[in-house]
Amino acid sequence: MQQPSPSEETAALLARLSSRPGVRSTLILSRDTGAIVRSTGLITAEDISEEGEAAPNGIGGTDTEGTNKGTRNADAVARLVWNFVKNARETTEELNGESDEVKLLRLRTRKNELVIVPDAKFLLVVVHDTPPA
């Protein structure tokens, strides 16, 4: 099944977010299913099958010597982000006692920061280096 293409407005928002310094990767996910619509800077299943390498074992490392240890698996990141957004939506509904729209999520770790913008049809995700404090 072919995923819908992001609107010009969605693409412009992602371009603005990804123009920030330190951006490592971007993802556009289907809001309904979490399927990857577009990805940059991450290894996808298609990349792995083209190169004939084993799939990375999640977010941090890989199963093979030949793949960059810091490169992330797009499918794993997409799954984690989709679950994170789903849980945030459920938490918001329980806190407010009604359905409410999550507008922006930021997840900051020592190494990376994820900025997640839920759109009408998509989840826009930008992964960048955590800025110094």
Does the residue 87 lie in any domain? Answer: yes
40 exposure class (CB count in 10 Å sphere: 0-12, 13-18, 19+)? middle
Is residue 112 domain-resident? yes
Residue 3 in any domain: the answer is no
47 within a domain of the structure (yes/no): yes
Residue 2 lies in a domain: no
**Domain annotation covers residue 71:** yes
- Classify residue 26: in a domain, yes or no: yes
Domain that holds residue 99: 8-129
Question: pTM of the predicted model, to two decimals?
Answer: 0.72
**pLDDT tens-digit series, residues 4-59:** 667 777 777 788 888 888 888 999 999 999 999 988 888 766 666 665 554 443 34
> At 51, which CATH number?
3.30.450.30
Residue 1 domain flag: no
How many separate domains does the chain show? Answer: 1
Compute the distance between CA of residue 19 and CA of residue 64 in angstroms, rounded to an integer.
32
